[in-house]
Amino acid sequence: MAVITQGFLSKLRNTLFGGMQDLPVKYFDTHKHGDIMSHYTNDVDTLRELISQSLPMMIQAIVVVLTVFFIMLYFSVWMALVVLLGVFAMTVSSKKIGGGSAKYFLRQQKAIGVAEGYIQEIMNGQKVVKVFCHEEESKARFDEVNTALCEDSYRANRYANILMPINNNIGNILYVIVALAGGIFMASGLNNISISGMPFGISIIVPFLNMTKQFCGNISQMSMQINAVAMGMAGARRVFDLLDEKPEEDNGYVTLVNARLNENGEVEETEERTGIWAWKHPHGDGTLTYTRLMGDVRMFNVDFEYEEGKRVLNDITLYAKPGQKVAFVGATGAGKTTVTNLINRFYDIDDGKIRYDGININKIKKKDLRRSLGIVLQETNLFTGTVMDNIRYGKLDATDEECRTAAKLAGADDFITRLPDGFDTMLYSNGAILSQGQRQLIAIARVAVADPPVMILDEATSSIDTRTEAIVQRGMDKLMEGRTVFVIAHRLSTVMNSNVIMVLDHGSIIERGTHDELIAAKGVYYRLYTGAFELE
C-alpha cells in the first residue's frame, strides 16, 4: 500500500503541476495562491489517508462481511434475513449521517484553503503589516477565518463521530434480536432453509450469535472510515476541480524557427542557430511561407475589458516599426500595462486586431510568440538558485560567458561581483538578500541574455535610484539597438529619447508624438513634464 499510495500521489502531483502550467494568467490573478497551494498539501494529504489507510481497512471489512454472510446463508436463510434487517438499519443511518458529514468536510477543505491563503498574504506583506502596526487587526481577521474553519471542522467530525456509537448500538440490539429470533424459530419448529440441511437448534443459534457480533463489528469498522472517506472525497473534489479548470486556449499554428538567408536573399529554415528568426506560416492549400522576424507590432482599433461592462482599453490604434522605441505614460489604471499584456497574449482582445510582422497574433502559437518577446516586469520574481541560474532563466542553453556579458550590459555585474560568491551566490525567498533595485537589474540581465527582437519594459527602472538608472539606461540603450521596444514609465526622463510617446487616459490614447512635439503642443504631456499636475 505504501508503494501504491506514494506512486499514485506522485503522479497526481505531477498531473496537478503540469495542468497548472497550462492555466491562463487570469486564473492566478483571480485565485489566492495560498488556496491553490492547499490543493497540493491538505487536499492531496486527505487522499493519502484515504488510499493508504481507509480503503485497505474497508476492503478487509467488506471481505469479512461478505464471507460471514455467505456462511450465515449456509447455516440458515431465515436467520440470515434477520441479520439483514439490522444491516439495513445500519445502512440507512450511515447514509444519512455520512451524507451530512460529506457536505461539511468539503466546506472544511475550502476553509483550510482560505486560511492558508490568508496566512500566505500576511507572510508576504509582513513588512507592510509592521509598518502600519496592523498586527492586532491581522490577528483579529485570522481569528475570524480560523473560527469559520473550526466550525466547519466541528460539524464535519460531529456527524462522522456519532456514526460508530449508533451502529454499535444497532449491533447490540441486533445481537439480542438474533438470539430471540433463533429461540422463536427453534420453539416453533420452523423448517430450516439452508445449504447445510441442519435443523434449527443450539448448534445453529450459537454460531449465528458469534457471527452476528463479527458481522456487526466489521460493519462498525466500515462506518469508522466514513470520516476519512468523506474527507478524502472532499479533497478529491477540490483536486479534480483544479484539474478540470479550462486550460489556456492556443489555436495558433504559426511557429518561430531558426532561419538563414540563401543566395537569393530569401528566408529559409535551418536547424542551426544563426541569430536570424522567421515565422513559419502554413496555409490551407498546403504551402509554407517564411516571414523574417523583424519586430513590427501594430494594433488596430483594439478594445478590451477584464470584466464585462468595465472597458479598460478603447479603440487603441498604434504601430511600432522594427527598431523603434514606443513609450506609454499616463496615470495608474490608464491601461499602459494592459497594452503589453495583450501583445504577449496573457489576455485576448475583445475587438480589433494585433499584427506581428503582418501576422495576426491569434495565428501565432503562444509559446513562440512569447519566446520572441523579452519582458521586464515591475514586480521582479527571482527563483531559488544561484545568480547565474536566475540570469540563465532567460536562455537555458546560455553559456556562463553569455550570462556575464548580459549582466554587464544591464549594469548588474558591479554588485554581483561584490556578493560573497559572485555569480554563484545562492538566492532564496525571491532574492531577499538583495535590494529591490538589484533584483530588478538581475531581471534586466535575464532579458538581455535572451536577446529578443522585441522588448517590453514595464516600469523596469522604477526601483532603481537615479545614479544606477543612468548606468542601466546606457546598458539598455545598447540592448535596445535594432529592437522594437515598448516602455512603460512614470519617470519621464526614461522616455524622452523614444521615437514616439503615447499618453493614455482611461483606456484611450489622448496624445502621441516625440518628446519635442509633445512639449511644443503644450498639452497633457507638457503639463506632466513641467510638473503642472501629477500623473496620478
Cα dihedral 80, 82, 88, 93 sign: negative
Which tens digits make up the pLDDT trace of 162-174?
777 887 888 888 8
Q: What is the pLDDT of residues 380-419, one digit of tens each?
A: 888 888 999 999 988 888 899 999 998 888 888 888 999 8
- pLDDT for residue 98 is more than 70: no
208 pLDDT higher than 70? yes
> What digits encode the pLDDT tens for the residues 179-198?
888 888 888 877 677 676 77
Residue extents of the structural domains in the chain: 2-243, 255-292, 297-530
What pLDDT score does 321 carry? 86
Residue 535, pLDDT > 50, answer no
| Residue 78 in this model has a pLDDT that exceeds 90 | no
Query: Worst-scoring range by mean pLDDT, 14-18, 38-42, 100-104?
Result: 100-104
pLDDT mean across residues, the chain: 83
Of the two residues 161 and 210, the one the predictor is more confident about is 210
What's the Cα-to-Cα distance from 415 to each of 19, 67, 389, 475, rounded to whole Å?
A: 38, 75, 16, 15
Q: What percent of the chain has pLDDT over 90?
A: 9
Average pLDDT, integer, range 330-349: 85
Q: Residues of the chain with pLDDT > 70: what percent? A: 92
| Predicted pLDDT at 166 | 81
Q: Which one of 1.20.1560.10, 3.90.180.10, 3.40.50.2000, 3.10.20.30 gives the CATH number of domain 2-243?
A: 1.20.1560.10
**pTM exceeds 0.75 for this model:** no
Does residue 288 contact residue 254 with C-beta atoms inside 8 Å? no
- 128-132, 331-335, 509-513: lowest mean pLDDT where? 128-132
pLDDT at 363 (0 to 100) = 92
Query: End-to-end alpha-carbon separation of the chain, Å?
Result: 61
pLDDT digits (tens, 9 = 90+) for 245-263: 998 888 889 999 988 888 8
pLDDT of residue 344: 87
Residue 194's pLDDT is: 67
CATH code for residues 297-530 = 3.40.50.300
Amino acid at 62: I
Q: pLDDT of 446-487, one tens digit each?
A: 888 888 888 888 876 666 666 766 766 666 676 677 778 888
Q: In what order do the strands lie in the sheet with 267-269?
A: 267-269, 255-261, 276-282, 288-292
CA dihedral 340, 341, 347, 352 (to 10 degrees): -10
Q: Cβ distance 198 to 191 under 8 Å?
A: no
Nine-digit cell at 264? 537569393
Decide if pLDDT at 522 tops 90: no
Integer-rounded Cα radius of gyration of the chain:
34
Query: What pLDDT, in 10s, does the model give residues 23-56?
Result: 888 888 888 887 888 888 888 888 888 888 888 8
| pLDDT band with cut points at 50, 70 and 90 for residue 534 | very low
Given a cut of 90, is residue 528 above it in pLDDT?
Answer: no
Alpha carbon of residue 227 to chain centroid: 29
